[in-house]
Structure 1
Amino acid sequence: MNVGTVTLSNVLQRDRLSLDGDWNVIVDPYEMGYIGILEQRNDRGFFRDHTPRHPGDRVEYDFDASPTLTVPGDWNTQDERLHYYEGTVWYRRKISVPADRASQRMYLHIGAANHTSRVFVDGDEIATHAGGFGPFAVEVTGRLGPGEHSLVIQVDNRRERDRIPAMRSDWWNFGGLTRSVDLVFVPNTFMRHAWITMAPDGRVVGGVELDGPPEPVRLQIPELGVDDVVELDSDGRFELDVTPERWHPGAPRLYDVRWACADDQIDDRVGFRTVETDGERIVVNGETTFLRGISMHAEALSGGRRSHGADDAAALFDVAEELGVNFVRLAHYQHDEHMVREADRRGILTWCELPVYWGIAFDQQHVLDNALEQLEELITRDRSRASTIFWSMANETLPGPERNAFLTALADRARLLDPTRLVSAALLTLPTADEDQHVDDQLGEVVDVVAINQYLGWYYGQRDTIPTTRWSTPFGKPVIFTEMGAGAKHGHHGTDAEIWTEEFQAAIYAAQIEMIEANRSDTGRGAVAGLSPWILKDFRAPVRVLPVIQDGYNRKGLVSEEGERKLAFEVLRRFYADIESRI
């Protein structure tokens, strides 16, 4: 479990000293840098960052003479020797804090470290964290005085049965410090969390969590005439009597927001919109909205590496925007904060998800506890983002009492942390031979929207029966297809009867689109309220081993691993353009 870590929101808006760049690393598959030969903690381990004290002193490692890896980044694509590596890598950086800042309160903020990490300062272990995709912070106030210090972070990406995710996933297990690392400077009293959004009934609501002696919090939104000390209730929440112009998909109205508390100040850009359901329809700002979506992995548009930062986010959204989407599913884990902020700027709705994927140890309390920790990291970071309308608890988990209880606990916590958004989970469905598909997974009672992963025409079913397939549930809720599609290698051509060809993939998309048109809830024909086909681009997956065709990539992308458009891209683009022209 997480020890010594906290969550901080609005980090990108704070006073930071970047620790990005080259870090010295030691690869440690046996974890001897932490555990000794008798299975006890090795007190002369790598985290001590020792150097020989005299010519006869035995020190069997040397960070200064060791190779480097760039942070942020994954180790798999930076060093071919680590391509498939799963285990421990020790990262070391020497840091110096300017003398005039050493007395300030400060936090070490890590955007993501996959999967489990330990943090050491000058040889002292100060924190542990479990979860490969969520941001976390460690207070280092008083530890980094004038002069040089050793910062060591142990990162372990091994797959284990009681981790989240667990043993198997259809994506690459990128290891490393995959997002930015910063020192964040804050006053003695600061706003650990400050957020604002719009409830489904149109009220502007928010909350503040202070760290340090209590001080009044002033909120300024100049364009709305807001410049007041907020009155916080016992839960640290408040409500404003204002009527902002709405942030709409495709018309992203954003307001400058300033928070001030004593010497602490945060500037943000925030939009306000409502989201709710009405029977089998999804309603944004009071308007029925059909979700024209696409799914994304956090993999860069080219190079097959873990994506990070504003440039990667912009490149991915450029392609999605060309497709004509108003919605993206950020699967199957917490994505970079730059992704949801880019969605805010572009007016594209988002689905944000936890890595509760396939075979999770649902009967283990400590696994649920960590899932709840990861959920809190996600929601507290992103609940001011107007683009985010879904919190997703899981993807493709097998129904059963323990799974249902586990995901219900996550849904309950999500609604407690943020009651203003929709809660869902992508369901694993195995359609029957009937053309009428009835999805009755009991989790449908818990979620707000029934999300279905279906691969008619690819893993099961015949293509010629797709257009006449009808979908229903017993829940009277909207249905969205969070996955659908087929695989094709870019440049591989043939007839639409030849698997792995672009023509085959395009034909599957054409048949699925015909089915969706006949099932759309916004036209009164069915329950389908949107889709996010799988997936924007081909991505690395070690389970995809077919030579020449896959070569370690899942080929369901609409563009290749280098961003080259496939035929199906244009099929989906025309469908979305046609829908938009009818609005």
Structure 2
Amino acid sequence: MPIPRPAYPHPHFDRSHAWQSLNGTWDFRADPAEQHTAHDADGYDRQITVPFAWETPASGIAAHWLRTAWYRRTFTVPPAWEGQRVVLHFGAVHHAATVWVNGIEVAHHEGGYTPFSADVTDALGDGGHLLTVRVHAPADKRDIVHGKQRSMPRDDYDGVCFTPSSGIWQSVWLTPRPATHLAALRLRPTRDLTGIAVDATVRGPNADAALLHLRVRGEASTVTLNIAADGRAGTELPLADPRLWSPEDPHLYYVDAELTSAHGSDRVTSYTGLRSVTVDGEALYLNGHRLFVRGVLDQGYWPDTGITAPDDAALRRDVELAARAGYNLVRKHLKLEDPRYLHHADALGVLVWAEPASPGSFSPESTARFAEQIEPMVERDGNSPAIVIWGLYNEEWGLDWDIPGDPAKQQAVADAYDRLKALDPTRPAVDNSGWTHVKTDLLDWHYYDESAASWAATVSDLLSGRRDDFPVRLGPDHVVHKKLAVPGQPLRGLPNLNSEYGGGFTGLERAWHLRWQTQELRRHDRLAGYVYTELYDIEHESAGLLDFHRGTKDLAGVDPAHVNAPTTLVLDVTPVAPGRDLLTATREFTVGVRVSHHGTDPVDGILHTAWTPVYAAAPESPGGAVRGCRAEAKPYLLGEPVAVPATLPAGWTSGRLHLALVAEGTVVARTALDVDTRTAMHVGDDPQARPAE
């Protein structure tokens, strides 16, 4: 049987020249009474496939609400590792893991999303070795970090949670290393983007007597560093012809590090990209160029494997699917994702908003456990050039939905922000995504609305400053108004993002809201970006552009890539309903069309139109040019309206008007308008049916 997930698990700290995967078949026993010990040899009555959680079909167990279980397997150490220290690594285990080798306890770790390792050399004997792991995954997860995994008793947000993923859910592997070894290799671009800043950490006996040799692949020289008494070494590696990392050119620089000491040689490879992400007033910049975030939410679940991807190709495919839908950023929601996902995002040039898992309630224990994730998150993933935003809390989850009313919760948020920024000041951080902010670099908000008219009005009010709160429906008859920030946190002078939105309960409705709500966001020049909810369905949640298996859904002819293109068309229309965007009493009408353009140079072209039946996809041809309808826009400034006349084809009572902007023979923007004459006898009495003012 092939080893599942055979790729090296940690591409940003790569020892793949010498390693051994321990994924595959392990002995397994449930321990519902929690009476077993590590020394019990009996009771292993089943086998489990690692690294899939025991709730999943892929694990072979599919056990639900099991709190405690034991894993067991044997392993041997390759003869070539003789004389080196042997280290056992776990990518992630939910939630608490105790590990024994040959009956000797070698590790205990709590935290279901963070990696841990143990030097097991002193527990080894001759021949084969017995590895035993006890995992405790509480059903009541309210005081532990668990993200979107369901808790029992339930969290306040149980309605948007999914099947838990308990046990070993990321890879397990062995590596050899000398007693004096590299423990960390932190890579960041230099401030002027001409080189790589290196901060290495060395551990072991007489670490300060070791030498660290660094080489950037493709560069001629090697740099040798002495190690300080505290085990640290740092330098800047200049690059002869620096090549920046960007979505258009995701160039990666690989750094080979070799540590030489009296205990031998230790080799590690890491990589990064030369890129900067900065905040200047209300704008985000990538490498000094304006960045408008066109993002999509991705929660990292798969049908048969839970929070573990079935294979490496599935991770890469999710990155590709987001890019194919026109998105330049993925917000990995409430989950420290598998490092290999970030590796694919780095290589493909897709930006990432990364954030840790949340607890379910506010307590000293849950606050501490949340904070304990921050350093491992930055340590493990900080070399990734794709990560351009760090997130922390989300919608006051784990804060009992009451930041404004409780100074202790405000302090917890501020402390988490300060901790993160002390570890990594190079990226903007969001303190409490979507709801009341306490201390943040980006002012983001989550707003869901099933009415196109009230959606447009609320977005306009928020971005114009006419209001600093917005409605949040917490239940069928329970609506609260969330303030953007507590007093003292500025509401101006920071990038402003809508980082969750979407509406509708069917594919048709979802596509309609995607098109019109995104258009309204593009209408406002103040906005720095958006994140649509979401890329694919998960279990009972059907808000995705794709189904749970990543298959296509009926989006009523709407192509997300047109909606999310760098250049789009904005119609001066408040739509009525799916299939009836515009009601008109006559076949002839005029619609105002504007251009929203997020390129580096101005754009101008001729507007073209074509007719199809309602819900039909855009035809390959842009249609006929509309005489006198030249539209243009400067970068990041909404263009002036152009009045486009149109006539519904003879004999038609409804149809879809496709509009395209053609510049130098290329279609650079598309949108559509569904027109209906059958229900427009009293159109003048319906304010939503008139073109917006």
Between 1 and 2, higher relative CO (CA 8 Å, sep ≥ 6) is seen in 1
Pick from 194, 199, 207 the counterpart of residue 185 of structure 2: 194
CA change 1:451–1:81 in 2 (3 A) is same
Structure 1 residue 139 corresponds to structure 2 residue 119: yes
Specify the alignment match of 2:48 in structure 1: 69
Give me the whole-angstrom Cα distance separating, in 2, the residues matched to 1:374 and 1:290.
Answer: 29
Alpha-carbon shift at residue 384 of structure 1 (Å): 1.2
- Normalized against structure 2, the TM-score is what? 0.68
Alpha-carbon shift at residue 15 of structure 1 (Å): 2.2
Q: In the alignment, residue 116 of structure 2 is paired with which amino acid?
A: F
Give me the whole-angstrom Cα distance separating, in 2, the residues matched to 1:450 and 1:14.
Answer: 44
Identity of matched residues, %? 25
Contact 1:97–1:146 (Cα < 8 Å) also in 2:
no
CA change 1:427–1:254 in 2 (3 A) is closer
CA change 1:330–1:248 in 2 (3 A) is same
C-alpha distance after superposition, 1:36-79 (max 9, x if no partner): xxxxxxxxx2x1143xxxxxxxxxx332xx11111111211226
Specify the alignment match of 1:182 in structure 2: 173
C-alpha distance after superposition, 1:132-182 (max 9, x if no partner): 112111121221232122211112222333212384352332112111100
Give me the whole-angstrom Cα distance separating, in 2, the residues matched to 1:407 and 1:228.
Answer: 41
Contact 1:49–1:150 (Cα < 8 Å) also in 2:
no
Alpha-carbon shift at residue 229 of structure 1 (Å): 1.8
Q: Secondary structure at the match of 2:274?
A: coil
Q: Secondary structure at the match of 1:504?
A: helix
Q: Secondary structure at the match of 2:312?
A: helix
Give me the whole-angstrom Cα distance separating, in 2, the residues matched to 1:232 and 1:368.
Answer: 36
CA change 1:415–1:156 in 2 (3 A) is same
Q: In the alignment, residue 220 of structure 1 is paired with which amino acid?
A: R
Specify the alignment match of 2:250 in structure 1: 252
Give me the whole-angstrom Cα distance separating, in 2, the residues matched to 1:289 and 1:442.
Answer: 22
CA change 1:333–1:554 in 2 (3 A) is same
Specify the alignment match of 1:454 in structure 2: 447
Alpha-carbon shift at residue 486 of structure 1 (Å): 3.2
Contact 2:519–2:563 (Cα < 8 Å) also in 1:
no
The within-5 A match list for 1:107-122 is 107-122=87-102
Structure 1 residue 173 corresponds to structure 2 residue 164: yes
Give me the whole-angstrom Cα distance separating, in 2, the residues matched to 1:232 and 1:296.
Answer: 41
Q: In the alignment, residue 466 of structure 1 is paired with which amino acid?
A: W
Give me the whole-angstrom Cα distance separating, in 1, the residues matched to 2:15 and 2:312.
Answer: 11
Alpha-carbon shift at residue 413 of structure 1 (Å): 1.8
Structure 1 residue 18 corresponds to structure 2 residue 17: no
Specify the alignment match of 1:372 in structure 2: 371
Specify the alignment match of 1:307 in structure 2: 308
Contact 1:250–1:346 (Cα < 8 Å) also in 2:
no
Alpha-carbon shift at residue 236 of structure 1 (Å): 4.3
Q: In the alignment, residue 162 of structure 2 is paired with which amino acid?
A: W
Specify the alignment match of 2:632 in structure 1: none
Give me the whole-angstrom Cα distance separating, in 2, the residues matched to 1:180 and 1:563.
Answer: 24
Alpha-carbon shift at residue 275 of structure 1 (Å): 0.5
Alpha-carbon shift at residue 582 of structure 1 (Å): 5.3
Give me the whole-angstrom Cα distance separating, in 1, the residues matched to 2:98 and 2:164.
Answer: 19
Give me the whole-angstrom Cα distance separating, in 1, the residues matched to 2:380 and 2:531.
Answer: 24
Specify the alignment match of 2:567 in structure 1: 579
Pick from 406, 414, 433 the counterpart of residue 408 of structure 1: 414
Q: Secondary structure at the match of 1:539?
A: coil
Specify the alignment match of 2:469 in structure 1: none
Alpha-carbon shift at residue 463 of structure 1 (Å): 2.7
Q: Secondary structure at the match of 2:70?
A: strand
Q: Secondary structure at the match of 1:554?
A: coil
Contact 2:455–2:517 (Cα < 8 Å) also in 1:
yes
* Deviating more after overlay: 556-565 vs 340-349: 556-565
Specify the alignment match of 1:420 in structure 2: 426
Pick from 75, 83, 86 the counterpart of residue 106 of structure 1: 86
* Deviating more after overlay: 185-194 vs 156-165: 156-165
The within-5 A match list for 1:536-547 is 536-540=535-539
Structure 1 residue 507 corresponds to structure 2 residue 512: yes
Q: Secondary structure at the match of 2:366?
A: helix
Alpha-carbon shift at residue 216 of structure 1 (Å): 1.8
C-alpha distance after superposition, 1:324-375 (max 9, x if no partner): 2211111111000001110000011111111125x332x40x4343333321
CA change 1:482–1:109 in 2 (3 A) is same
Specify the alignment match of 2:215 in structure 1: 220
Contact 1:114–1:156 (Cα < 8 Å) also in 2:
yes
Give me the whole-angstrom Cα distance separating, in 2, the residues matched to 1:418 and 1:67.
Answer: 44
Q: In the alignment, residue 352 of structure 1 is paired with which amino acid?
A: A
The within-5 A match list for 1:410-559 is 410-429=416-435, 441-443=436-438, 446-457=439-450, 462-468=451-457, 469-470=459-460, 471-472=462-463, 474-486=491-503, 500-519=505-524, 525-526=525-526, 528-540=527-539, 553-559=540-546
Structure 1 residue 91 corresponds to structure 2 residue 87: no
Give me the whole-angstrom Cα distance separating, in 1, the residues matched to 2:296 and 2:432.
Answer: 14
Give me the whole-angstrom Cα distance separating, in 2, the residues matched to 1:113 and 1:427.
Answer: 26
Give me the whole-angstrom Cα distance separating, in 1, the residues matched to 2:503 and 2:530.
Answer: 15
Aligned Cα RMSD in Å? 2.5
Greater fraction helix: 1
Alpha-carbon shift at residue 231 of structure 1 (Å): 6.5
Contact 1:291–1:326 (Cα < 8 Å) also in 2:
yes
Contact 1:48–1:122 (Cα < 8 Å) also in 2:
no
Pick from 198, 213, 224 the counterpart of residue 206 of structure 1: 198
CA change 1:570–1:264 in 2 (3 A) is farther
| Structure 1: tracts of 5 or more residues without a match | 1-6, 34-44, 51-60, 430-440, 488-499, 520-524, 541-552
Specify the alignment match of 1:565 in structure 2: 552
Greater fraction strand: 2
Q: Secondary structure at the match of 1:119?
A: strand
Q: Secondary structure at the match of 1:220?
A: strand
Q: In the alignment, residue 238 of structure 1 is paired with which amino acid?
A: T
Give me the whole-angstrom Cα distance separating, in 2, the residues matched to 1:396 and 1:13.
Answer: 39
Q: Secondary structure at the match of 2:345?
A: helix
Q: In the alignment, residue 502 of structure 2 is paired with which amino acid?
A: G
Specify the alignment match of 2:616 in structure 1: none
Alpha-carbon shift at residue 194 of structure 1 (Å): 0.6
Q: Secondary structure at the match of 1:380?
A: helix
Q: In the alignment, residue 117 of structure 1 is paired with which amino acid?
A: A
| Structure 2: tracts of 5 or more residues without a match | 1-9, 464-483, 485-490, 569-596, 600-693
Give me the whole-angstrom Cα distance separating, in 2, the residues matched to 1:483 and 1:12.
Answer: 38
Pick from 124, 132, 157 the counterpart of residue 152 of structure 1: 132
Alpha-carbon shift at residue 534 of structure 1 (Å): 1.4
Q: Secondary structure at the match of 2:371?
A: helix
Give me the whole-angstrom Cα distance separating, in 1, the residues matched to 2:112 and 2:80.
Answer: 34
C-alpha distance after superposition, 1:197-241 (max 9, x if no partner): 125554632311101132121211143444212467776443344
Q: In the alignment, residue 416 of structure 1 is paired with which amino acid?
A: A
Give me the whole-angstrom Cα distance separating, in 1, the residues matched to 2:279 and 2:345.
Answer: 21
Give me the whole-angstrom Cα distance separating, in 1, the residues matched to 2:420 and 2:53.
Answer: 30
